[in-house]
Structure formats: structure tokens, C-alpha cells
């Protein structure tokens, strides 16, 4: 997956299912089969909700988790064990000058989350691209940024698409410091986050 893939997925869904533009937290689609097989990639793979994908980018920021239906409505008072970690991922290491509306959301579920998948370890790898492997999921409760310049939707996170990597099955840190040198399909340059020891 690339950042363009997430934009294309959003465009394809909005074309295929026009009512998607009117879904909200209180008005969600009854049939999730509309999210299956939405987009055909340049490699010829047909992807949609539930497809396991690999995606590389730069961590822009972490967002604290909160009460969500995917975690049975458990509140943040229960700590990190019961809430998702929301990662804002961008295509550039220039965090200061990259609009958050260009970002993609990656959500780490609390279920069976490794101990070292925490904010401290993620931020210790901030000078390196990260690679995420997980399922595509469509967040129908929100709308992505729109307009010119793009601005976030009402009560929605700033991002380019409502398609997320959620849940995450694997996180890797690139041993290089350039996204160009950190192709998602080149396993030789990636190290699992739980084995990451920071800069040598």
C-alpha cells in the first residue's frame, strides 16, 4: 500500500456508494460487504476491507485512545490495555511542514498487543520509517479532509482517507533513514519494533 492507494480507496468508495458521504457515528452502514473488493492496485491485487496489507511511512504523532465500539465501549480510564493506539502516519520526515490532512491512520488494538508496542518505543524510532502490517478497515463514522486547502470534517480526525490499517499485526523499524531506501517489500531493511534498541 502507498499513500496514493488510500486516496484511491476513498475515491472508489465514494463513487461506488454515494451515501458514504452521509454516514456518521449514529448512521452507519448496515451491510459491510460494500467495503469488499473496492480497488484494484497497479500490481493487479483487488483490495478492500479485511485485506491484509503492508504500509510504510513516518510517524507524525500519537493520539491517545478513547471509548470506541471496537473495544466494547471501554473508556480510557482502563488504561492502555483497553484502548487503541492511534498513529498518524505521513509520507515525509518533515513533520513540521506536512499537513496532517495528508496522513493515514494506523490503529493498534489493545488485544494481544506486545508490551514494547508503546509510545516510548515508537518515538525512539522517530528518525526511521516504520512499516505496518494489518487489515484494511473503513471508518464509516467520520469523513476525511476535503476542500482547498483540505480541512478536517466535523468531529473527524485530520487525514486523507477514512481507510485505516486496523488492527495492526506487525510493526517494523527500517534500519535506514530514508523512505526511498525502506521499500515495504524488502524485508532485509526492517527490524521488528519489539527488537528495536534505538540508535547504535
The 10s digit of each residue's pLDDT in 162-184 is 999 999 999 999 999 999 999 99
Residue (of 138, 22, 156, 49) closest to 101 by Cα position: 156
Domain count across the chain? 1
Q: Which of 34-48, 64-78, 129-143 has the lowest mean pLDDT?
A: 64-78
Answer yes or no: is 200 within a domain. no
Per-residue model confidence (pLDDT) at position 115: 86
> Which contiguous run of DSSP H or E holds residue 108?
strand 104-108
More confident call, 13 vs 154: 13
Answer yes or no: is 45 within a domain. yes
Answer yes or no: is 108 within a domain. yes
Amino acid at each position: 500500500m502507498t499513500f496514493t492507494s488510500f486516496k484511491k480507496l476513498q475515491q472508489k468508495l465514494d463513487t461506488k456508494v454515494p451515501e458514504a458521504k452521509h454516514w456518521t457515528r449514529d448512521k452507519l452502514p448496515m451491510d459491510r460487504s460494500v467495503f469488499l473488493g473496492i480497488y484494484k492496485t497497479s500490481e493487479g491485487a483487488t483490495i478492500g476491507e479485511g485485506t491484509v496489507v503492508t504500509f510504510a511511512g513516518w510517524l507524525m504523532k500519537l493520539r491517545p485512545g478513547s471509548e470506541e465500539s471496537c473495544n466494547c465501549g471501554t473508556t480510557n480510564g482502563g488504561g492502555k490495555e483497553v484502548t487503541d493506539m492511534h498513529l498518524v502516519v505521513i509520507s515525509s520526515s518533515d513533520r513540521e511542514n506536512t499537513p496532517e490532512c495528508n496522513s493515514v491512520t494506523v490503529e493498534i488494538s489493545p488485544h494481544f498487543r506486545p508490551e514494547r508496542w508503546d509510545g516510548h518505543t515508537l518515538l525512539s524510532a522517530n528518525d526511521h520509517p516504520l512499516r505496518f502490517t494489518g487489515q484494511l478497515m473503513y471508518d464509516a463514522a467520520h469523513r476525511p479532509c476535503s476542500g482547498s486547502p483540505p480541512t478536517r470534517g466535523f468531529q473527524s480526525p485530520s487525514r486523507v482517507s477514512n481507510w485505516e490499517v486496523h488492527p495492526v499485526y506487525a510493526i517494523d523499524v527500517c534500519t535506514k533513514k530514508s523512505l526511498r531506501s525502506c521499500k515495504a517489500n524488502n524485508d532485509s531493511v526492517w527490524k521488528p519494533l519489539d527488537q528495536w534498541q534505538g540508535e547504535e
